[in-house]
């Protein structure tokens, strides 16, 4: 295959939205619209629609690790986006994998907005961002170099 025809690979690490309007479903649609090949690792499953969330089931951290490594060990991922990193253990698992895999040079898009996010999760998420990534693009789309 000609290298010019290969799409850049993007990875989303986020929750699944059964209503299709957010989470990995929305991320994969966006990746396709932007001309990239989207891959995913699911952190949690939700039962939801546009008006309500009726349940959340967290994915086991070991299984999340297997998903992320399956993608990173096979595909030449060019950018990473995270969405709902549901718990401290999910944040810590993701952080550990990405820092070990030396993903620091890749653009990283993140969402840390949550109506019910705890302070502990916010602090853990901030450490995650600082540990894993040099180029961070925050929800306001400003590139931060650290």
In tens, the pLDDT along 33-78 reads 999 999 999 999 999 988 888 999 999 999 999 999 999 999 999 8
Give pTM, 2 decimals: 0.76
pLDDT for the residue 21: 87
pLDDT for the residue 143: 37
Residue 129 has pLDDT above 90, yes or no: no
Residue 4 has pLDDT above 80, yes or no: no
CB 47 within 8 A of CB 54: yes
Relative to beta strand 9-17, strand 77-82 is parallel
Taken in order of first residue, the domains within the chain and their CATH numbers are: 3-145 (3.40.1190.20)
Query: Could you tell me which residue, 144 or 12, shows the higher pLDDT?
Result: 12
Alpha-carbon gap, residue 127 to 121, rounded angstroms: 10
Q: Which of 129, 124, 20 is nearest to 80 (CA)?
A: 129
Mean pLDDT of 113-131: 55
Supply the mean pLDDT for the chain: 77
Alpha-carbon gap, residue 41 to 126, rounded angstroms: 20
Alpha-carbon gap, residue 5 to 91, rounded angstroms: 34
Residue 109 has pLDDT above 70, yes or no: no
């Amino acid at each position: 295959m000609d290298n010019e025809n290969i799409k850049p690979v993007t990875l989303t690490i986020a929750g699944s939205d059964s209503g299709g309007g957010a989470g990995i479903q929305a991320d994969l649609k966006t990746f396709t619209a932007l001309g990239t090949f989207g891959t995913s690792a699911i952190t949690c499953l939700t039962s939801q629609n546009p008006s309500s969330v009726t349940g959340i089931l967290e994915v086991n951290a070991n299984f999340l690790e297997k998903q992320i490594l399956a993608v990173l060990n096979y595909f030449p991922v060019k950018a990473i986006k995270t969405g709902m990193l549901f718990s401290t253990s999910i944040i810590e698992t993701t952080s550990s994998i990405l820092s070990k895999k030396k993903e620091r040079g890749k653009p990283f898009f993140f969402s840390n907005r949550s109506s019910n996010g705890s302070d502990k999760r916010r602090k853990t998420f901030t450490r995650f961002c600082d540990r894993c990534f040099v180029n961070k693009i925050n929800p306001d789309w400003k590139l931060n170099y650290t």
